[in-house]
Amino acid sequence: QSALTQPPSVSGSPGQSVTISCTGTSSDVGSYNRVSWYQQPPGTTPKLMIYEVSNRPSGVPDRFSGSKSGNTASLTISGLQAEDEADYYCSSYTRSSTYVLFGGGTKLTVL
Partner 1 sequence: EVQLLESGGGLVQPGGSLRLSCAASGFTLGNYAMTWVRQAPGKGLEWVSDISESGGSTYYADSVKGRFIISRDNSKNTLDLQMNSLRAEDTAVYYCAKSLGGGIYKYYFDSWGQGTLVTVSS
Q: Which of 24, 89, 108, 110 binds partner 1 (CB under 8 A)?
A: 89
- 47 binding partner 1? (CB under 8 A): yes
* Contact between residue 92 and residue 74 where contact means Cβ atoms under 8 Å apart: no
For the chain, what's the residue count?
111
- 9 binding partner 1? (CB under 8 A): no
**Residue 42 CB, nearest approach to partner 1 (Å):** 11
**CA-CA distance, 90 to 50, in Å (whole number)?**
9
Cα dihedral 11, 3, 89, 54 in deg (nearest 10): 100
**Residue 5 CB, nearest approach to partner 1 (Å):** 12
**CA-CA distance, 4 to 104, in Å (whole number)?**
7
* Interacting residues with partner 1 (CB under 8 A): 1, 3, 34, 36, 38, 40, 45-48, 51-52, 57, 87, 89, 91, 93, 97-105
